[in-house]
Chain A
Amino acid sequence: MTALLQLSGITKTLTGQDEPRTILAGVDLTVHSGQSVAILGRSGSGKSTLLSLIGLFDRPDGGTYLLGDRDITRLPERKAAALRSAEFGFVFQRFFLLKHLTAMQNVAMALVNGQGWASRRQRRARVLAALDRVGIAHLAKHKPARLSGGEQQRVAIARALVREPRILLADEPTGALDAETGNLVVEVLRSATDQGCGLILVTHDQDHAAKMGRVLRLRDGVLA
């Protein structure tokens, strides 16, 4: 069975104001359908950098990245945008909801991105289904300002799920939430894997990590 995604020997060197720093020094990672992976690591160890490579926000300097059996190590930006839309769902520490749009419109944003077209009725149905999956369909008409942190993060998760991605990437999604709400959010994310979605969760919380199928640690640019 082919893996959902397979990273081998991924390297990334960042060139800031100072001398270049190697953040990733040969990362190997394989994720299968329905699997969940927790990535732990000190702050600044390169977890977000790794997720941004997996999510095609950025490209690695070296190594190979296979999505299914397709080599996407050096993908042109236009195709990367299409893959981000079709294959990935993203959840961030900050929720990144647009404050002038309702929960529903925020979720629909992932459908209104120029990649294919769904009619207003189809969009509505899919958005409501996604909001229902995270348990907040009743808040569809609310704007972010009227939602609690946990509710906002669940809107963000619905936005990540609405296109039914194959891989869900979550970068410290509970970082801004209290423990109880954090548990709820992690449970919502984990339940997505029941339908065959792969999940990579970056977290500092051992308890949350323990709920994942595998726990990996990023240290000195290598996953172990």
Chain B
Amino acid sequence: MRLSVFPAALLSCALLVTCGAAAPAGALTPAGAPASTSTSAGALTSAGVSAPAAPEPACGSPYLIDQVLPNGARWRLCWEMRVIEGLTLTGVTYTPPRGRPIKVLRSTALAQIHVPYDSGEPRFHDIGTLGENAVTLASADCPGGERRERFVCVTTRSRGHGYLKSRPGEPNLSAQGRELVVYSAFQIGWYTYLVEWAFSDDGAITPRVGATGSLSGFDTGPEHGWPTRAGNTHIEQSHTHNIFWRLDFDVDGRKNDVVEQYDFPGSGTAKRTLSRTVFTKEAKAVTAPARWWRVVDTESRNADGHRISWEIGNSDSARYRGPADEAFTRADLYVTQYRACERLASANPAPGCAASVDRYVTGQRLTDPVLWVNVSYHHVARDEDADPMPTHWQGFRITPRDAMAENPR
């Protein structure tokens, strides 16, 4: 599985990162672009080159979201409020400024909100019929945006500096980035969960969940909680929110998607070495410093001749590991072959199908990979969590890697 020999494209890509910083400011194309990889002319269908028309969206109003951001980037997707998973996004397609549409995800939704409390009990699987518990959003709950069928907010917001580069004798080269945001809120007992996906103008996606509402008020001993309210009579029980996302990637279409893991061993030495692991079979993986994964289309290439991919970073997880009967908590990423009945990471509501994501991994060969990302947050209550509890967020990043040949600005 571990490959020691890298294709030329990858090596030169690694070189580009270092060379790029020293390249003259005016260079539009990185100088190190390898000539050897620009072989198949037919594959060079990127920015500006004979862009085919966008495929017809699979949904109609009010389920279609079609947003052009100020830099000219366009996101198109469909939403659906499913009874079980709640807000579900399908057919997620990114079009870079002046570029052609690139499909990223066939579908994405939450796959579980698992909340084990620190004393060992209770332990909740909060999905659930999320769709039945969607909160009706007021117009103030959807600033600057548009509410769809009362439950979904579609809006845009600033994401800070897209870039800022000083130029001697010239104004700074800078821009404020912007992102499309799609979210719903769900009332699950005392918690209100904000379930959000942000699609930014540079092609990145940030799925995240914010927990707000109220604390449970469960009292426990000082070894399992933190005193809240006046004095020391109430110890609010600590707990973990283990949130799972299911992501059915279809990078530039369903075919030829491969999942790779990248590591950079050499800790404690002066050198770091790029190391790539290709998941040819269903797999579980855990986070590690500097580790990331990507879903790469082995056929589609950008104008630099590099394979189009989206990268998954998951470095903020508290990495909760549960007992043996909660083996689904023991990895941070699962890669499984698509199966229609595999929908939730635990308590999967399908007869004749495995019950949890750890059991979806059976060593099957991967031809159509589905990724399951697990991000946990350990919540130790504080006085500031008094009603209404401030939102605590958890999520991860999906970033384009060589989907475009240059900064999509």
Is this pair of chains taken from one and the same complex?
Answer: no
